């Protein structure tokens, strides 16, 4: 008889290409039923949105952990290692536990007529693991969209929707309203909704869906947010939570933190014991990779996961806050299905030089030469509008992200600033170059 552990769980749980995504819930529902419906034993906070899902989820998980709850966290994609997608109290699942839960999942998949997709396998493995470890609460991040995402088999305590923007338009729709309808698909009958202040088209969709299902929608009052930079960190206050020293430096993070404060208060109303001290401590303890993260000095080197127009826009706001004079040396890599021209327009006013490369090992990668040509086109068209910052600018194509990082740091000089952005799929290679 074959050894049930004679396989690589990471390979098994990542099988298939992104293009093979088959949205739908029936495979996940069948697989979880075969596993004993582990999701039914869990208290869940379900988080959807286009941008800010990861940081907001991390803040919420940090607060719950600081309040003494054993807290599961499921996120995607991973940044440095596969195991970080499934965490308990911010500790990655061990290789041993990953093999065990993957074997349990695989045993049941072999009995199914229709094989689940990679993300469906991973979702089932995560929920199975969190149930086995008896987590008090789980923060569950949606993978793609919401309505037909495999995480949408759960009935949560709270549905959270972070900022909605145009992304994955080939799958989710090409208007804000269409994408909002997919994100709002996580709303369940009678379950409270916490929504970021959205574009009016998105807000209307969310409010209508919530009303149909008898849900209360709460929105943070960002007018109460007070934040200022202190070096490359921030001091944040919101509605009675004072002088929080956030380790996440991006200027958009105070709004994500305010979302987490409101989530904690809603959960407090559902019986969770979350004192204000736990909210402050949890926010201060939260780290999240590749979100305007300072990863090296001399030169100051920042990694930001901004991978669409909205992400690039908030990156530009952070650069304006910390480096208003511009002169930033960029490393950019991007997927071809993103609006990379709009991303370029957001950051180019801050650029002195740009090194470009293709994200590694991804069939959706835009080539370095194509990206370089697009940057030169924007430079040429914008010309005088960008002259103050890019008069010296040049674009250099590199054969790898690793080499682009080395060239950028060498060129920037020890007193310069390097910003690497455009694709989360490049972060691991960026970090390896810095190491």
Angle between helices 118-132 and 95-109 (to 10 degrees): 120
Angle between helices 340-347 and 309-322 (to 10 degrees): 10
**What is the percent of the chain with per-residue pLDDT over 90, rounded to a whole number?**
79
pLDDT of residue 363: 86
Lowest mean pLDDT among 124-138, 232-246, 296-310: 296-310
CATH fold of 9-285 reads 3.40.1190
Lowest mean pLDDT among 107-116, 145-154, 163-172: 163-172
pLDDT of residue 19: 46
pTM of the model: 0.89
**What is the percent of the chain with per-residue pLDDT over 70, rounded to a whole number?**
94
pLDDT of residue 1: 43
pLDDT category of residue 389 using cuts at 50, 70 and 90: low
pLDDT digits (tens, 9 = 90+) for 281-308: 999 999 988 889 999 999 999 999 888 8
Checking if the pLDDT of 332 tops 70, the result is yes
pLDDT of residue 64: 98
pLDDT digits (tens, 9 = 90+) for 207-217: 999 999 999 99
More confident residue, 28 or 388: 28
Cα separation values, 104 from 160, 179, 215, Å: 30, 34, 36
pLDDT category of residue 3 using cuts at 50, 70 and 90: confident
Q: Among 1.10.150.120, 3.90.190.20, 3.30.450.20, 3.40.50.1000, name the CATH number for the domain at 293-434.
A: 3.90.190.20
Q: Where are the domains of the chain?
A: 9-285, 293-434
pLDDT of residue 170: 52
Give the C-alpha separation, 128 to 124, whole Å: 6
Please state the three-class secondary structure of the chain as a single string. Answer: CCCCCCCCHHHHCCCCCHHHCCCCCHHHHHHHHHCCCHHHHCCEEEEECCCCHHHHHHHHHHHHHHCCCCEEEECCCCCCCHHHHEEECCEECCHHHHHHHHHHHHHHHCCCCCCCCHHHHHHHHHHHHHHHCCCCEEEEECCCCCCCCHHHHCCCCEEEECCCCCCCHHHHCCCHHHHHHHHHHHCCCCCEEEECCCCHHHHHHHHHHHHHCCCCEECCCHHHEEEEEECCEEEEEECCEEEEEECCCCCCHHHHHHHHHHHHHHHHCCCCCCCHHHHHHHHHHCCCCCCCEEEECCCEEEEECCCCHHHHHHHHHHHHHHCCCCCEEEEECCECCCCHHHHHHHHHHHEEEEEECCCCCCCCECCHHHHHHHHHHHHHHHHHHHHHHHCCCCEEECCCHHHHHHHHHHHHCCCCEEEEECCHHHHHHHHHHHC
pLDDT digits (tens, 9 = 90+) for 12-31: 998 864 445 667 899 999 99
């Amino acid at each position: 008889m074959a050894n049930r552990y004679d396989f690589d769980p990471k390979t098994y749980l990542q099988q298939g290409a992104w293009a093979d995504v088959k949205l739908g819930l029936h495979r996940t529902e069948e697989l979880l039923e075969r596993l004993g419906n582990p999701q039914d034993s869990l208290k869940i906070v379900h988080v959807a949105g286009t941008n800010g899902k990861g940081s907001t989820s991390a803040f919420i998980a940090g607060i719950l952990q600081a309040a003494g709850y054993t807290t599961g966290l499921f996120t995607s994609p991973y940044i440095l290692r596969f195991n970080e997608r499934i965490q308990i109290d911010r500790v990655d699942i061990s290789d041993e536990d990953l093999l065990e839960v993957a074997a349990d999942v695989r045993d049941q998949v072999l009995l199914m007529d229709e094989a689940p997709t990679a993300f469906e396998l991973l979702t089932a493995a995560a929920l199975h693991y969190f149930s086995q470890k008896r987590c008090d609460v789980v923060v569950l991040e949606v993978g793609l969209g919401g309505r037909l995402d495999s995480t949408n088999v759960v009935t949560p305590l709270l549905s959270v929707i972070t900022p909605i923007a145009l992304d994955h338009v080939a799958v989710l729709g090409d208007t804000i309203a269409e994408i909002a309808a997919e994100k709002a698909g996580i709303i369940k009958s009678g379950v409270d909704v916490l929504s970021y202040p959205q574009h009016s088209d998105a807000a209307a969709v969310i409010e209508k869906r919530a009303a149909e299902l008898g849900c209360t929608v709460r929105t943070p009052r960002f007018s109460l947010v007070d934040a200022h930079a202190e070096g490359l960190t921030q001091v944040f206050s919101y509605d009675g939570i004072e002088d929080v020293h956030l380790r996440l430096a991006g200027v958009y993070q105070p709004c994500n933190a305010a979302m987490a404060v409101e989530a904690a208060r809603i959960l407090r109303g559902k019986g969770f014991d979350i004192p204000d001290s736990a909210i402050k401590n949890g926010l201060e303890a939260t780290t999240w990779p590749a979100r305007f993260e300072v990863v090296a000095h001399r030169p100051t080197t920042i990694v930001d996961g901004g991978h669409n127009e909205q992400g690039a826009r908030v990156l530009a706001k952070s650069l304006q806050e910390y480096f208003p004079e511009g002169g930033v040396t960029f490393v950019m890599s991007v997927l071809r299905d993103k609006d990379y021209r709009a991303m370029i327009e957001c950051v180019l006013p801050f650029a002195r030089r740009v090194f470009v490369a293709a994200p590694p090992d991804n069939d959706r990668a835009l080539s370095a030469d194509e990206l370089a040509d697009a940057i030169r086109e924007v430079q040429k068209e914008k010309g005088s509008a960008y002259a103050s910052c890019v008069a010296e600018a040049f674009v250099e194509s590199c054969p790898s992200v690793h080499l682009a990082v080395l060239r950028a740091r060498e060129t920037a000089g020890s007193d310069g600033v390097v910003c690497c952005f455009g694709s989360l799929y490049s972060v691991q290679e960026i970090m390896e170059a810095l190491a």
